[in-house]
Amino acid sequence: MRHLALTLALLLSPTAALAQYTPSAGQNAPAEAYAPKPTADGKVRFERLKQAPAKDGHGNAAGNQYDLAVDGAFKGQTVLILDQVGNTLVNTRAALAEKGLSTVVYPPGLTPPVRELQSALQKSCELWLISTSQPQLTDDHIRVIKAFFDAGHGVYIWGDNDPLYADANRVASALVPGLGMRGDRYGDLVVGLAERGSAGVAMGHLITTGLEHLYEGVTIATLLLDGQSEPADSLYGAKLEQPGRAWDTAIPAGFTPLLYGSAGNLVSAAYEKDGRRLVIDGGFTRLAVSWDDAGTARFVKNAAAWLVNAERFKEKVAVGAPR
């Protein structure tokens, strides 16, 4: 990758092969501390510190060097956000800016015309949709989004408690048949790692890099990955009324759970298949309520970095590269 390289002062995991990624990519709990050392030629070198990483107040590794992506890694790239809700995105936009990602936001009531959306997506590396309770997108909007997704560009679909997932479900099912969300469960807790049989954060995915603890959101929806109208035993393996348990799930091909809430419900998942990437999330309250209590900033930075799909687009998303 031009303009950005890593001198490997650490043994990197296989998932950290991209220059945009840090040495801890794919590790929830980095075992050894390291620090970025910019060089005179603008490259980044990571220096081993021979000690355990410091922890923040929530128990996650402290410091941006333990995010998935290097700060500034995607300078020149743009995230397009269709915000139908209007909760503050100040923190979210600032977090993405740390990774070099600029943001263009269409606020509530200002959904772009189809041609404008198509033009804006041509200048964007990924699309976020934050859904409200009433449909705002036409079928033509959704066809444009599907073409963007099918071309390999990342899509992040955010919904929340019933009924705040109208367009989330319409877009999700158009991109991946059977995908959607339903319901309203109270959370408002910080969950730890999803050890077998427990709620929490998935281990080993690039998006959960540096995360041992994550705030689940306040009132949240439950993901449906298999087209059912209600969460069912075939998906969750047990009834959702059993709080605090994440079930042994029959997850459809292409999906990876990212976050099980304290009620045992699947709140966030990643989808990757045929070079396409998507994240779906039933807890957009995390973007505005109790920000970073805990780990929200890192989660959204990691998700955005993963959705850039640098593994597919390579030099097109190198720092400063034109799209």
What's the whole-model pTM score?
A: 0.89
The total domain count for the chain is: 1
User: Do the domain assignments include residue 61?
Assistant: no
Domain coverage including residue 115 = 78-313
The residue type of 44 is V
User: Do the domain assignments include residue 323?
Assistant: no
Residue 142's domain is classified under what CATH number?
Answer: 3.40.50.880
What was the pLDDT predicted at 319?
A: 57
What was the pLDDT predicted at 308?
A: 97
User: Do the domain assignments include residue 211?
Assistant: yes
User: Do the domain assignments include residue 174?
Assistant: yes
What was the pLDDT predicted at 97?
A: 98
User: Do the domain assignments include residue 9?
Assistant: no
Task: Compute the distance between CA of residue 309 and CA of residue 211 in angstroms, rounded to an integer.
Answer: 20
What was the pLDDT predicted at 238?
A: 44
Across the chain, which has 323 residues, the per-10-residue mean pLDDT values are: 36 51 95 86 82 95 96 95 97 97 97 98 97 98 98 98 97 96 92 82 96 95 80 46 49 91 91 97 94 92 97 74 40
User: Do the domain assignments include residue 208?
Assistant: yes
User: Do the domain assignments include residue 3?
Assistant: no
Tokens of 45: 């070198």
Task: Compute the distance between CA of residue 234 and CA of residue 213 in angstroms, rounded to an integer.
Answer: 28
217: CB partners within 8 A, 6+ apart: 160, 187, 188, 261, 267, 282, 283, 284, 285, 286, 289
The residue type of 135 is P
Residues 177 and 170 sit within 8 Å (Cβ to Cβ): no
User: Do the domain assignments include residue 129?
Assistant: yes
